[in-house]
Structure 1
């Protein structure tokens, strides 16, 4: 958010049941200038927020039909609603599941698992890029943040492994880079950010936390604060930024 512009009054948080998204919502709701937080999830609204006057919880199972439907719903709502979407956080993503974990060797690659990982980490965010563009093409600025990962960096890959996760995040970064070029023409007041949160104490990282260096396992509320401060200081410049939790640029 550019501090010289009006305060944001509507934020979208997609993938709202993740640990980082939950922390983001909590901190966004502390901002009294924010009139509404629209949260999108395949899970039901947590009881702590069911009666909150400034939160709207929408269901999506993240197939293309429901994503398109929500996009149309928000577009129709914007025609009569004075609120403007100033911040979008897309938090969908998976690293492991009940029947799989990140591959250590090429022999472990499995087409079905790869499709599942790419769907969550690459395809779902791409579909939101598509449906939200008409909503964000106005004159006011908007920051659109996607949870990426440092392991998606090609130049930073020095130890290998985690084939599907790495590749899906690299593909996400390329989609965002390509979209930033188009958005600069068709939604020029939108800033795209690929954000690496660091290793965060959530369900996604649980199986791998024992190997994390001291002081490098972050609480979700810390990551949320770092992300919101990053958004606040990052100007809209028609490009994609690939940044980490410490606001440092990551090599592609």
Structure 2
């Protein structure tokens, strides 16, 4: 991460998942990094759906942080597969999709942004999905997942405007990692897919290249901008 100060401090949320784990390992190999912390439900009890848990874990970290990657998200929750039709919409399933894919990352922004460096360049990447694009939707289906990711994109865009006032060097962006060989996307993969290592490398390369003027944007793993 050549755009960050030497001795930068990084945090990966969702660090036990396929992409999060690969990103953590890659960052740990960077000779310019001072520390890489990880949070996840399975390793240290970090619960994205519990604000007390989010706050408690943020309070335990040492500031400043220069890079946060929020590598969380769910396509299938509690065994409920994405809807193929509006007839399959289920209230509890849809609420969980929003809790995990939109509200959880919003809580991360609320409690972890105060830890970010405000005098040096700082980056926060939130993993979104191309399926969250409203204009790039020609197939339909997956209403709960699509809607929750569209909400996440709005959260990122809106938060970036507010943060620019206090953190002029802070870049906040939503990145689509591509179709990756992970338990999340494997059941729905029907074409070319990336290894977690390839996705991690691409995500970090895109994040490293972003400028403050691009904060709040929605990008693909190849660096191209995705329409809302």
Query: Smaller-chain TM-score range?
Result: over 0.9
Is it true that 1:201 corresponds to 2:181 in the alignment?
Answer: yes
Instruction: Please name the residue that 1:132 is paired with.
Output: 112
Q: Secondary structure at the match of 2:168?
A: coil
What's the offset of the Cα at 1:73?
2.2
Gaps (5+ residues) in structure 2? none
Change (3 A) 1:6 1:137: closer
Structure number with larger C-alpha Rg: 1
Instruction: Please name the residue that 1:109 is paired with.
Output: 89
Instruction: Please name the residue that 1:37 is paired with.
Output: 36
Q: Give structure 1 regions of 4+ aligned residues with deviation exceeding 4 angstroms.
A: none
Could you list the per-position Cα deviations for residues 82-108 of structure 1 after superposition, in whole angstroms to 9, with x for gaps in the alignment?
A: xx4111100110001343101010010
**Given the alignment, which residue of 198, 206, 210 partners 1:234?**
210
Gaps (5+ residues) in structure 1? 45-57, 79-83
Could you list the per-position Cα deviations for residues 105-139 of structure 1 after superposition, in whole angstroms to 9, with x for gaps in the alignment?
A: 00100010011111110011000110112112520
- 8 Å CA contact 1:90, 1:145 repeated in 2: yes
Instruction: Please name the residue that 1:122 is paired with.
Output: 102
- 8 Å CA contact 2:118, 2:170 repeated in 1: no
- 8 Å CA contact 2:20, 2:71 repeated in 1: yes
Could you list the per-position Cα deviations for residues 134-184 of structure 1 after superposition, in whole angstroms to 9, with x for gaps in the alignment?
A: 112520111100000111011001110000000000000001111011001
Q: TM-score, normalised by structure 2?
A: 0.94
Instruction: Please name the residue that 1:24 is paired with.
Output: 23
- 8 Å CA contact 1:184, 1:238 repeated in 2: no
Instruction: Please name the residue that 1:72 is paired with.
Output: 59
RMSD: 1.5
Q: 1:187, 1:42 → 2: CA distance?
A: 29
Q: Secondary structure at the match of 1:35?
A: strand
Q: Secondary structure at the match of 2:155?
A: helix
**May I ask how many residue pairs the two structures share in their alignment?**
227
Q: 2:29, 2:117 → 1: CA distance?
A: 27
Q: TM-score, normalised by structure 1?
A: 0.86
